[in-house]
Chains A and B, each alone.
Chain A
Amino acid sequence: MRTIDDYLAELGGALHVRGAVRRRFLRECRDHLADAAAEHGEHEAVRAFGPASEIAAAFDVEVAARRGVRSTFATVAAVLATGGSTLALIHAASTDTTAPAWWAVAFFVGAQVAAVAAGLALVQALVLRRSTMAPAEVVLLARRNGCALVAAGVTMFSAGAAVPGRGSAVVLLAGPVLACAALVAVMRARALARRLDGHDALAVRPPLEDLGRLVRVPVPPLDARRLLLVTTAVAAAGAFARDRVEHGSVGEAFAFAGLEGLAVVVCFLVLGPALGLRRR
């Protein structure tokens, strides 16, 4: 006959999660089994609790989801802070410097990728924060967060390389420090999710459907091609309007809109599968 200690040893052996959350879970299980054994006997208590491997798998998935959601909030805070640090860096730059074209392109692409990836992760986390999340969903969340943090880093680095200057170390370092902390949280969630069954399943989450679920407004489903078309059109129109507001000529505004559209298409093709926007 299997005792509570045997069962808990099996449960502990099947769990992937480590640390305080594991100790709390095993403690709760021990308390539960002790109460059940006092009423129904040890054998019945263990039987009614369920197979150790199934319970451990369900708990691991839950902890991975919790870490995924928390690391998303950390990522969004870090991206915003890095944006603030980058603006401070630009304001602290020498007035006579001119940004080389490549650094300027890296800056604009990095900033937009960081905002889009962080936005996608945030919407996914908010939609799924009260639901079960498959390991593949947690891996996707980690990819979106990782992409947002790397792009935020690229944005700040490009700004520093393009327009060097002097600024407050605290303000300039606040963003990167938060980004490093968020990256650790993201890697932790990803590492746990990747140890679970089903982590390698392909996760594609259409962002507009998630957004519709979040704001409770029905959104017509868009396949990847239509999503790209709509996004490119909106981004190009935004770039055109911005250039016109900044007193660019119509020709310059069209060229700017074309570059923006091209950048969106290239980013969608390269990063789309990693961000769960389209299948490979």
Chain B
Amino acid sequence: MADETSDNFFNEFLDDYFAESEEHLAIVRNRLLAIEQFVGKASVDSAHLDELFRSFHTLKGISAMVGLTPAEELAHKMESYLGALREGRISLLPEGFEALIEGTRTLEKVIGAYRNNESLPDIDRSSELIESLTGAKPQTGSAAETKDTEPVTETGKSTTSQQWRFVFVPGAVHAAAGVNVNSVRASLQNIGEIIRSTPLIQEGEIAFEFIVVSDASETDLAGLEKSGLTFGPLVEPSPESEVEVAGGSEPSTATASTSSAASAFVRVDLVRLDQLMLFVSDLVVSKARLETQLKSMRGSISDRDWRGLQEINAAFGKQLRDLRHGVMRIRMVPIGEIFERMRFVVRDLSRETGKTVVLDIRGADTEIDKFLVERLMDPLLHLVRNAISHGIEGEAERLAAGKSPAGHVRLRAHTAGEVVVIEISDDGRGIDTEEIAARNPHLQLFDAAGEIDAPQLLKIISTPGFSTRDQVDRASGRGVGMDVVHQAITELEGTVSLETTRGEGTLFRITLPLTLAITDALIASVGGHMFALQQSAVNEVVEIDPKSIKIMENNEIVLYRNHVLPLVRLSNVFGYEKKESGTLYAFVVGSGSRATALVVDKVLGLREVVVRSLTDPLLDIKGIAGATELGDGRPILILDAMEILSVAATN
């Protein structure tokens, strides 16, 4: 049927389809885990079953709509099985539960493959498995069928104007006459405003529903029937009552109460949000401009007027911040969404490896940018897999080591200032650093005190192709895992760090910027030029007396808080003139033994800046992360502290 619709029109539905199916698969995964406790029991909690049934029903419907037959077929069989469970004709046995899990996974793969334009995986095994367990089929059209509560995207529910509901069923006859969804859409646009268009499934046939607001009378619209459209006035709240489409005699049991809960959410295109964010960014710049202008007026106006203006300005600043946070919040989703998915992975893997693993989730309500969520899935997946297949020991080994028989994997998330920190830890055997050191004799893995150099270790295990396993197992790839993790996190402007203790476990810490668009930056000057540095990268701002600087070979160092702090002069890195006299200032970046002081001439202050990326290849310079402008039209470069250090190191 796809060929009858225009590509664009269809693609819109495809995007909706993927989003929709993802939502339902998430529900399915959750509910499946919830019903696991009922395996082998006489009956299963009906709320869970109902939800599962509905989700598969919807998956079936929407898959049919996009012509993804294998998904439709599989979802249908799973729906039938759940129907049988619900009616109490069969009970939930372990093999039935397995079949549900297996079927869900296959369904996921089919939809994923379709999305990536890959060849579709075979569904036969899953499909036959679930069918064999369902038992005798009930008569079709029994009360087990729920009514179609198809996804709709509401754009408004104006009840004052006359709304018409049109249904178009594409068919060969119409196609031959040159009538397709697009032409129908066009002609409907002529008579009024289309406020909603929804694909429908009616008895396996695709139909398109259009809700149109129009002044036209019923007789005006009659002509449209020739082009295969059926229509009638829209009657809320039960538009189902007037389904004129052929074969629409499906009995319905009301399930509207639960599905209507979803309509409290609006799905928004990220592009639109970005646009909104851009407007807010412009406002921030205007605000900075206003402030500069205000300052120049001091003295030329009365104190009273000055105070009044200052007050308004301060209020404006606060409101702008609120607006900024508000817009940013729209993009934020709880990280729990991906953490919950990990439950599924953990369950699978613990089965596969025969290890008992308990997953502990903390901070699931930590909100992160939607953009990050999608890109965090793979790295997290790799880390969780690694934890179970490499980290957690078998039961015997754990008991021998005096540990609890069940392994623990912990996922934690929290926000700290401008960053979100995600930790994946296990209480397994820890990374065998000695073995890695033995395999890489040329690398200095341990420092003089015999302490493991964690960043160095991380670097080694993140090398493409690295694997501690001689045998490749299914669970955790072929040593590509950490490589992927490192790359994905770097692309998100984040960092990965590692802590591991032999026999006690391993912890990976991912640090990501909450958002990149607007940030607090420290402004400094070097050699007469202004620069900005993200405040989140700076641990401390310190004053340095030039007399206290010691020279060690080619390095300048100072003693600070009883630690040796190496100095990197930005004037050196940039080839600017060195400040000859007076107090120097430095930003302490990096932590622990890697702390370094970036020396500047002067610190000018802390400002909220809009980060603008420098995309032109002419500006692809190491150490420069972007640019900003403080409201006076003069660009200021934003430095990447870590990159500056590496530039300095290679000089």
A and B: bona fide binding partners:
no
Interface residues of B (CB under 8 A from A): none
Interface residues of A (CB under 8 A from B): none
